Amino acid sequence: MRAIETDPRLGIWSVRRQGDGWLELETTAQLERAMAPVLLVLAWPSLWRDRARFEPHLTRGRSGNYALLVLGSDEEFAAGAAHTLADDSDVAALGVPASPERVALALRARAESSALRQVAANLEMELAQAHYENDLLIDTGRALSQQRDIDSLLEIILRRARDVTGADAGSVYIVQGDDNAMQLRFMVSQNDSRNIDSKGFTMAVSGSSIVGTCVITSDVINIPDLYNLDAPGLGNNPWGFVHNRSFDEKYSYETRSMLTVPMISARRQVIGVIQLINKRARGVTQLDKPEDFAHGVVPFDPPSVAYAGSLASQAGIALENTMLYEEVRTLFDGFVRASVTAIESRDPTTSGHSERVAQLTTGLAQAVDKVDVGPYRDVTFRPDDLKQIEYAALLHDFGKVGVREHVLVKAKKLYEHQRDQILQRFQLIRRGVQVEDLHLKIECLQAGHVHQLAGIDERAIARLAELEEMMKWILSANEPTVLEQGGFERIADIAGRVFVDPDGNSRPYITPEEATALQIMRGSLTKEERFEIESHVVHTYNFLRQIPWGRTFRDVPEIAGAHHEKLDGTGYPNQLKAESIPVPAKMMTISDIYDALTAKDRPYKKAMPAEKALDILSFDVKKGLLDVELFKVFVDAKVFELVHK
């Protein structure tokens, strides 16, 4: 020990601690390769022969900066089985007695070995960190490319940027408007140390703000400490920024280090900004007290800046793609809703029907998604699936553009011109009765049969009353019914009657076509007209099939084209049976019928109460026309109430 303290050749070493059979030395000067001061333990035979006492030193020796050097004579090494220690790479041996030069060389060699181990361990750690960060960037790129919702995308961007840089907090802004009136919209905020009540706001792009300058210059802005912006010689504030501490004062927070990175699109335009706040020092997990900000926050180092820049490049492309997707989606939404407007402009009586059916069908799909029992427990609908169902429901009646307008808007069993013709015909018949009555009365007067005049008037009055009763019956029968209704034999009787017109021609009270229309048992359409209306489904399918929906919405034509199919194969246009009908189409059938029954805008019928409409749907379920499980969800989840709120 005295030699170590006095011999200049051992002057870089000092005694740090000592114990029974061991001496711990520490370098007084940093070795070139060492990452930290090297601790070297000299162990004499009394220690290293006792494996139990020596084991703690061996354990520490494997930690990196703690080297072991065992000393002893050749005889002591041989007797003490030192070869077992030599198997351990953390132990070196020095035979004694030895000259000071040899001791110095041995100590130096052991220290260099320990320093190299430190370097290797540090490189391993850096390599592992690089692998982690690279994997994180790859995983982030994958996540960004798969996300199409802007809010979710920005949350991911900020979270990953903070993960890769160790930032305690951060925000994301997006650029809006054109070059003449650019604005920054605050979109997302995250903070691990404070619960922040953040609300969206906009501000003009200006060089007076850090994010504004980032947009204008497209530069990364790295500020080591906002609380020392103007410290002499630091060069932290070449832009002349002033730190507004109102946020810090409100939340008892200190915005110290800040890294602001632009997100640049493929067209080389800044479309957003990532702002990271307070890089935490190693081992710091949260910033609570004022001293935590003073000692637990460090500047963003070059690797953090590089990784944040790489992520911002990925984020810029992903954000641009998402914005373009949103623009296309908005454009397509506009097209779909304009198409619905076109449909309803041809048939104002069903105004709002398509929107309500879409609301009911997507609501039913969301309810089915929550079912955990029964045949639909494994059926799930992603956001894109729900959007596909919404489009199909909105456009399910688009084929009505191919139906003749007078058929499409037919409100009664008779067209208006047919009803007017019958009214005119009965007026002519009544006039004929009156004329005939006058002729008979003149003949009686000429023949002197005055006593017969009263009887002639009575017969004329009876005939006119019968004509009035017929007309009332015809007008009553002209009103369409929702449920099948018989009792139209009276129409057949009237159709069998004839009268003679002023030209002497024999004509029926009502024509065969008029009689057929008046005898319609349900609704207002004849068989031929109903077939024409039903053809709208074929028109819908053929029209929608011409649209390049892509993989996401490729089933829209099939869903919309099957909404009038029935489970037993009696539906139209293809008489599909249960297993061949898409589940969304089965849901739309229920929604379509329910809205048709309860709609308040149909001139040919009154709005039916929800309870009555559900009873009718229940009857169709019992007949095997509608899906029993889907109808049960429709009722239990009160989906039908969506259009009554």
Summarize pLDDT for 300-330 with one digit per residue, the tens. Answer: 999 899 888 888 888 888 888 878 878 888 8
Q: Is the pLDDT of residue 471 over 50?
A: yes
In this predicted model, what pLDDT tens digit does every residue of 107-119 receive, in sequence order?
778 777 777 777 7
Enumerate residues 6+ apart whose C-beta is below 8 A from 617.
590, 593, 594, 597, 626, 631, 634
CATH of 347-405+532-643, one of 3.30.420.40, 3.40.190.10, 1.10.3210.10, 1.20.140.10: 1.10.3210.10
Question: For residues 46 and 121, what is the distance between their CA atoms, to the nearest angstrom?
Answer: 32
Whether residue 566 is predicted with pLDDT greater than 70 in this model: the reply is yes
8 alpha-carbon distance from chain centroid = 74
Give the least confident one: 100-114, 250-264, 439-453, 623-637: 100-114
507 contacts: CB under 8 Å, gap ≥ 6: 425, 498, 499, 500, 501
Q: Please report, for the chain, the start and end positions of each structural domain, with discontinuous segments joined by +.
A: 2-123, 147-325, 347-405+532-643, 416-524
141-155, 310-324, 394-408, 589-603 — which is least confidently predicted? 141-155
Q: What pLDDT is stored for residue 602 in this prediction?
A: 59
pLDDT single digits (tens) 352-383: 899 999 999 999 999 999 999 999 999 999 99
In the three-class reduction of DSSP (H, G, I as helix; E, B as strand; rest coil), residue 259 is classed as strand
Residue 23 pairs in a beta bridge with: 18, 42
DSSP letters along 596-610, please? HHH-S--TTSPPPPH
Position 86 scores a pLDDT of 46
Whether the predicted pLDDT of 145 surpasses 70? no
At 137, is the pLDDT very low, low, confident or very high (cuts 50, 70, 90)?
low
Neighbours of 488 (CB within 10 A): 15
Exposure class string for 443-458: b at 16+ Cβ within 10 A, else e: ebeeeeeeeeeeebee
Which band of pLDDT confidence, cut at 50, 70 and 90, is reported for residue 241? Answer: confident
Please report the pLDDT score of residue 83 as a whole number: 47
The residue behind tokens 């070449």 is 238
* Per-residue confidence (pLDDT) for residue 114, from 0 to 100: 73
Which of 161, 156, 172, 179 minimizes the C-alpha distance to 269? 179
Q: Name the token pair of 465.
A: 């009353």
Between 532 and 250, name the one with better pLDDT. Answer: 250
Q: Which of 77-91, 138-152, 532-546, 590-604 has the lowest mean pLDDT?
A: 77-91
pTM for the full predicted model: 0.59
Residue 57 has pLDDT above 50, yes or no: yes
* Matching fold, domains 147-325 and 347-405+532-643: no
pLDDT recorded at residue 485:
55
The region, left, alpha or beta by phi > 0 then psi within -120 to 50, assigned to residue 575 is left
The whole-angstrom separation of Cα 188 and Cα 157 is 10
Split at pLDDT 50, 70, 90, the class of 182 is: confident
Mean pLDDT of the chain: 84
Check residue 134 and give its pLDDT: 67
Q: How far apart are CA 256 and CA 298, in angstroms?
A: 8
Quick one: pLDDT at residue 641?
Answer: 92
Choose between 406 and 627: higher pLDDT: 627
**Cα 550–Cα 551–Cα 553 angle in degrees, nearest 5:** 75
Q: Residue 554's closest CA among 360, 343, 391?
A: 391
The structure tokens listed for 47 are 């220690």
Most confident of the following: 70-84, 243-257, 340-354, 478-492? 243-257
Structure tokens at 613: 């409409």
Q: 644 φ, ψ to 5°?
A: -115, 5
- Predicted confidence (pLDDT) at residue 427 exceeds the cutoff of 90: yes
* CA gap 327, 600 in Å, rounded: 35
What is the third-level CATH fold of 147-325? Beta-Lactamase (3.30.450)
CA distance 44 to 467: 135
Answer yes or no: is pLDDT of 635 > 50.
Answer: yes
Position 29 pLDDT exceeds 90: no
* Both tokens assigned to 329: 């989606």
Determine the residue type at 289: K
Q: How confident is the model at residue 189 (pLDDT cuts 50, 70, 90)?
A: very high
Structure-block tokens of residue 489: 């034999």
Which residue in this structure is represented by tokens 């740090």?
16
Lowest mean pLDDT among 46-50, 399-403, 499-503, 591-595: 399-403
